[in-house]
Structure 1
Amino acid sequence: MQTRLTPLAALLSAAIFTPVHAERLLEPVVVTASRFESAQQDRPIAAQVITAQEIRDSSATNVSEVLSKLGGVHTRINFTGLPDSPIDLRGFGMTGDQNTLVLVNGQRLSEYEGATARLSSIPMDAIERIEILRGSGAVQYGSGATAGTINIITKSPVGPGVSGSVFTQAGSHQSRDARGGFRIGGDLWGARIDAQHYESDNYRDNNRSKLGSVNGEFRLGNARDFIALTVNADDQKSRLPGARTEAQLKTDRRGAKSPDDFLNSRSELYALRGEKNFGDLTLALDASYRDKDATLLNKADWGSSYRKSNTKVFGVSPRAMLNSDWGPVNNQLTIGADSSKWDYKSNTAATGFASAFDERGKQTNKALYVRNELQLPTGTRISLGGRKEFVDQSIDERVVPNANNARPNLTAHEIAIQQMIGAGFSVYGRTGRSFRLANIDDNRCQSTPCADLLKPQQSRDTEVGLEWQNAVASLRVGLFNMDVTDEIHYNRLAWANMNLSPTRHRGLELEGRVALWDSVDVAVNYTRTQATFREGTYDGVNVAGNKVPLVPKDRLGVNLGWQITAATRATLYVQYVGSQRYDNDQANRFKSMPSYTITDFKISHQINNWRLAAGVNNLFDEKYYSYGIVNTAYTSFNAYPEDRRNFYASAEYRF
């Protein structure tokens, strides 16, 4: 372990002690911790912010890669071949997506089903910044934010003039990516539209994927008083190759187990948001509506199934923020409400031993929350918050048949304190309680007898840390502990989704960045995570002390940027992911998945309004996989192999 971290220690030492030039100043960032876009306030405690310029300078080509390479977020392969990688903060493994909430402008993008957030629907050029807040966001956002929140803030189109961009990229496996954006506006109004078409054969056979998306926004007002309407539509088509056996990984990595399987989906999202300022009082309202259709064909030796599903979600969120100054003391009080209605239905036809069934799910959420932040002249920040949520869930499976419902009342709370201690250093601590509701995929029953709906997952969270920042460098070190009860997860030993016996997620997080010289900058992200069962016995197996599957013990990412000339930049990214248990190995009987190290390189050159770039991913042609499952006898495994060395080139024109 010490040998592995020696380069990291050297980089951190350089970040703190190496002289730097003032030209590489870190840009100040205003972030939105209170769900108010116009709030001019300090960075949220322990938040990480990725700016548009950092995204542009990086080797990332999509939002998933931005989160992984710049944000240090652990990601895995997406079976569809689309750039919508499953994400995981703080070691939840296969359910990481359901414990990390993805937002766009403070509005939920994460699905209510067990699906990955459609990050590919967000136009890269429209992103102003990405805010990653590790640790529970349940007070402000409710279910699904136990491990943290990722809030993607888009650029305001308001401003005089006309601007836009055209981008095209081609790469290995017949990959093609074409994007375009256009903005027009005045002093108090603006409109933008972005479109994308992406397609690729991908590394595997029968893994061709296509994506088309359109995103637009019309906005009236200024930074303090505005109303904005956003429309997003996307269409995805994917072929599904299935897993490879251990033997096939050596003889036919690129082959397909399922040459006919596919998943197609279409989604539309309409969102309205606005804010009105009355001096110290600001009122805000968000409303959104999403409609998604999906079609899945799954063929197997024992039968096949064809499923069509539809999801509709409507939500509204009013809130108010009051700023008060009591002499040198500033107080910011936020009170809000969230109301949402979710409706799901699916029809499945099947042959052989596959299950044919119709399914209908409904869920309503109504919540009230309050959050108060106090800033003292001693450099002390104190944040308190609480949330009460009322839920009504129902599932009706008409072929099994089974009708089930639950009405849990849930509570979340948090207290956080940060203290400045001089010379750019501060220490912080926070503790709280969060929750996650089981979604329809968690609760699905395909054979009788059907159990009751799963209980809500509850977590008690504690974190302490240190932050340091000056004009040219920053550093955060944090320690966290999460004691989770009724964690929702598939348990291979019980052959069902279930509420697990108590688990514990604890670890170390480190983020650092520095401008070494005028032309060289370095950023480092490191996490060490331990996710274990605190107790429990399944099918006669005592799992106490066992590791939760798909949680790598160590993850290290290093970004090295070199501004060769004023117009030319090179970026090198190295990622190490440590060993982890296979997805269904709660018994910890089988060997661990092997660790892997991936290196990516990109070079770009600016010529007037043109930006030309070329890159190579997996530079050293590593053979690896990020997802695998063990067979029933614990003698072998299946896995989804990742891409080997691949290349791309791109051209962009901005006006």
Structure 2
Amino acid sequence: MKKLVTKKELARKIAIGMLAPTTVMLLAGTVSAAEEDAFNLDPIVVTAQRYATKDLDTPAAISVYTQEELKATGATSVIEALKYSEGIIYHAQGPMGNAQGTMTSKIIIRGVEKGTLVLMDGVPLNLHGRYNLEDIPLDDVEKIEVIRGGGSVLYGSEATGGVINIISKSKKSNSISASVGNNGTQNHNISFQAGKFGMNYSINKTDEIDHISGGYTRSTSASTSASYVPKRYYDFSGNDREALSWRYTFDDNWDFSHSYGTSDSTYFYRHAEAANKATVGSLSSASNFDTTYNRMQLNYKKDNVKGTLYFNQKEMDNNKTEYWATVSKKYQQLTTPSITNGTDKDRTIGLDVQNSWKLKADTLLIGINAQRESYDAKEKVDSGDWDTRAFDRNVYSVYGQYDHKLNSSSNIILSARETWTGGAVDDKDYSKFTPQLQYLKKLGNNTSFYANAGMSFMMPTFTQIYGSAGRVKGNPSVKPQEGKHYEIGLKRNTATHAWRLAVFNYTIDDSISTTYVESTDTFNTTNEDIKNTGIELSCNINNGGGWHTNWGISYSNPQKYETDKNGDSEGWHRYYGKLQLNGGINYTNEKWKAALTATYLASRERDTDTGGSIKPMLLTGANVSYKLAADREIFLTVDNLFDRKDITSHSTSEYYTLGRTFQLGYKMSL
């Protein structure tokens, strides 16, 4: 594996060399002539109510991030930018948010692991419960809206924790950029708009990274036993990722968009200790993942009528070579390596249509959604036969919302959704009615109070019901998870501050979970209850003189009710983290832009029945740019400023942050 000591030292010198004079310049007061940035304390949101409303007039906890704010974190992908968001826990099993096959990085909203629904321009992105936000480059994003709290009423299954709506650029910028850094990182982008046609193309690369995880074994046997599996850790081969998106706007009513991307990476599983004749550093197995995705949308909008026909597909080819394995209850080196080849293909085709009407002071919205979900998988071990599986089901929904104005300062909003499925294998169909009631009280022009109560619903995936071709075993008796959500909040804007306060409580029955069974070396699907109560307080500040700051604090107590392998109760177990702090500081003038962003998660517990604490996690990012001319700029981004080795996972296995990583780049407008 490559050693990166000299590159890290170079990164440190460049970062200090560029950041230090900038900081001195700012502190010296040489920016008195700086231009004021537009700073919207009350942004327009389109996700929470499915039509445009101001944040202050929306009864939900909302965060809106423009591309400028997302880029200020120093991130290049959506997953890396959102890890700094309030009320969100970042969970990763690969460096810089990279997926390890089906073990993908997660954005966990309010402690609900399997409850984040991701939308791309209002269309569900989730496939088989996964959304791979590392595949979406920030260069193609206009803004992101994050709605915290159960949102199954208006958006259906999977929105039990919250909704993330990624809104892409309707018109692309005419620009080209390139950046390189240590750890073999590269990020290149070209974007252009020519009349009705716009395109964005990105390349992202990462080099080899050693020891991305700690040594761990699931074996409960004595270390001297022949069945004992030594502790093992992962090395990362690096990643090559490409993303192409384009949009054609026919007229004011119709447009078509298509996104295509590929990703290729390999993970090496090595022995961390000497046992059963295995030596430290020797290779236990190697797994390669080659992924391709396609997303298409045909959109129609006229007045208050919206319609979208969409297609979403992801295909992953995986190849695993095992050099050591347990044979006849003995862990040993294989005479001939065992090779497993497999392919997973997820596909969704759907149609969503909605219309809204203004009824004097009231608003009525009605919509329908029909979706065909498909999953095909096959796997072959060595020269054996292919184990193939194919599943389909139809998902239908009718949803509505009525916003009634009680008086000049109060609104009550009633929403409901009926969801049902059909055509599933073995008649594994579901039906659920989910209502929601919201109340909004305006306390003057700049303050509002809200309260809401609603239900959420999430169906099991095909793998959770039927199992996969590998070690994941299905459970035909697994139940859908159903939640009850309650929240009150206060929002207040002043000339320079935007204050947001939310207090929430939820209980989710039969949350769908996966547990490892050592005796069979399989992962089994189960149901368990979860609950959480918490408070979130944040403030965005326009400090003037080109300065903007923000801070947030979240305190909650996520818990799950667990049973052992025999079904006996083990009681409530706390997991994830209790305390989260977020903050950022931004400065802009005619030539310079500088930003520092951080998030801190403390009082952490593992997401396992045995529990165990995890040290606090501090994630930091910085971005500095200098405009050479009206159409040219140079920039420096730094991730993990303090070069910390934080644990980014919450399971028994420990995955680590990448060390301090910088990229130095150049951007030119065309």
TM-score for the superposition, normalised by structure 2: 0.80
Q: Which whole-Å deviations, capped at 9, do the CAs of 1:136-156 have from their partners, x for residues lacking one?
A: 221111100011101111232
1:272 alignment counterpart: 298
1:516 aligns with 2:543: yes
1:535 to 1:625, Cα distance in 2 relative to 1, 3 A: closer
Q: Which whole-Å deviations, capped at 9, do the CAs of 1:80-114 have from their partners, x for residues lacking one?
A: 7655742110112xxx2x31111111011121x14
1:647 aligns with 2:662: yes
* Partner Cα separation in structure 1 for residue 49 and residue 255 of structure 2: 15
* Partner Cα separation in structure 2 for residue 244 and residue 474 of structure 1: 52
> Residue type of the partner of 2:353?
P
2:246 alignment counterpart: 216
- SS where residue 387 of structure 1 aligns? strand
> Residue type of the partner of 1:366?
Y
> Residue type of the partner of 1:89?
I
Contact 1:493 1:586 in 2 (8 A): no
Residue identity over aligned pairs, in percent, reads 20
1:571 to 1:41, Cα distance in 2 relative to 1, 3 A: closer
1:171 alignment counterpart: 181
1:380 alignment counterpart: 410
Following TM superposition, by how much is the alpha carbon of 1:269 offset from its aligned partner in structure 2, in angstroms? 1.4
1:606 to 1:434, Cα distance in 2 relative to 1, 3 A: same
Following TM superposition, by how much is the alpha carbon of 1:432 offset from its aligned partner in structure 2, in angstroms? 0.6
1:531 to 558, 561, 567: 558
> Residue type of the partner of 1:514?
I
1:596 alignment counterpart: 617
1:181 to 174, 184, 191: 191
Following TM superposition, by how much is the alpha carbon of 1:520 offset from its aligned partner in structure 2, in angstroms? 2.3
1:466 aligns with 2:493: no
Contact 2:95 2:658 in 1 (8 A): no
1:192 alignment counterpart: 198
* Partner Cα separation in structure 2 for residue 392 and residue 257 of structure 1: 46
2:157 alignment counterpart: 143
1:369 to 363, 382, 399: 399
> Residue type of the partner of 1:198?
N
* Partner Cα separation in structure 1 for residue 124 and residue 453 of structure 2: 24
Following TM superposition, by how much is the alpha carbon of 1:450 offset from its aligned partner in structure 2, in angstroms? 6.5
1:346 aligns with 2:377: yes
Contact 2:87 2:536 in 1 (8 A): no
2:230 alignment counterpart: none
1:55 aligns with 2:70: yes
1:615 aligns with 2:628: no
- SS where residue 487 of structure 1 aligns? strand
1:263 alignment counterpart: 289
- SS where residue 53 of structure 1 aligns? helix
> Larger deviation: 472-481 or 72-81?
72-81
> Larger deviation: 306-315 or 29-38?
29-38
1:555 aligns with 2:580: yes
1:307 aligns with 2:342: yes
Following TM superposition, by how much is the alpha carbon of 1:78 offset from its aligned partner in structure 2, in angstroms? 4.0
Contact 1:406 1:453 in 2 (8 A): no
Following TM superposition, by how much is the alpha carbon of 1:476 offset from its aligned partner in structure 2, in angstroms? 1.0
> Residue type of the partner of 1:435?
F
1:433 aligns with 2:458: no
1:65 to 1:450, Cα distance in 2 relative to 1, 3 A: closer
Following TM superposition, by how much is the alpha carbon of 1:207 offset from its aligned partner in structure 2, in angstroms? 2.8
2:444 alignment counterpart: 422
Alignment of 1:88-127 (within 5 A): 88-92=108-112, 96=113, 98-111=114-127, 113-115=128-130, 117-127=131-141
1:586 aligns with 2:606: no
RMSD of the alignment, in Å? 3.1
Alignment of 1:228-247 (within 5 A): 228-242=255-269
* Partner Cα separation in structure 2 for residue 299 and residue 375 of structure 1: 63
> Residue type of the partner of 2:392?
K
Contact 1:322 1:334 in 2 (8 A): yes
- SS where residue 76 of structure 2 aligns? coil
* Partner Cα separation in structure 2 for residue 348 and residue 43 of structure 1: 52
* Partner Cα separation in structure 1 for residue 562 and residue 97 of structure 2: 38
Following TM superposition, by how much is the alpha carbon of 1:71 offset from its aligned partner in structure 2, in angstroms? 5.3
1:201 alignment counterpart: 207
1:575 to 599, 617, 620: 599
Q: Structure 1: give runs of 5+ residues left out of the alignment.
A: 1-20, 396-403, 631-637
Following TM superposition, by how much is the alpha carbon of 1:366 offset from its aligned partner in structure 2, in angstroms? 0.8
1:324 alignment counterpart: 359
- SS where residue 644 of structure 1 aligns? coil
Following TM superposition, by how much is the alpha carbon of 1:488 offset from its aligned partner in structure 2, in angstroms? 0.2
1:336 aligns with 2:367: yes
> Residue type of the partner of 1:554?
L
Following TM superposition, by how much is the alpha carbon of 1:516 offset from its aligned partner in structure 2, in angstroms? 2.5
- SS where residue 648 of structure 2 aligns? strand
2:572 alignment counterpart: 545
Following TM superposition, by how much is the alpha carbon of 1:532 offset from its aligned partner in structure 2, in angstroms? 1.5
- SS where residue 452 of structure 1 aligns? coil
Contact 1:568 1:604 in 2 (8 A): yes
Following TM superposition, by how much is the alpha carbon of 1:624 offset from its aligned partner in structure 2, in angstroms? 1.9
* Partner Cα separation in structure 2 for residue 72 and residue 448 of structure 1: 31
TM-score for the superposition, normalised by structure 1: 0.82
> Residue type of the partner of 2:317?
T
1:129 to 134, 137, 143: 143
1:132 to 1:429, Cα distance in 2 relative to 1, 3 A: same
- SS where residue 207 of structure 1 aligns? strand
Following TM superposition, by how much is the alpha carbon of 1:491 offset from its aligned partner in structure 2, in angstroms? 3.1
* Partner Cα separation in structure 1 for residue 189 and residue 579 of structure 2: 36
- SS where residue 441 of structure 1 aligns? helix
- SS where residue 208 of structure 1 aligns? strand
1:154 to 1:628, Cα distance in 2 relative to 1, 3 A: closer
Following TM superposition, by how much is the alpha carbon of 1:61 offset from its aligned partner in structure 2, in angstroms? 2.6
Following TM superposition, by how much is the alpha carbon of 1:423 offset from its aligned partner in structure 2, in angstroms? 6.5
> Residue type of the partner of 2:82?
L
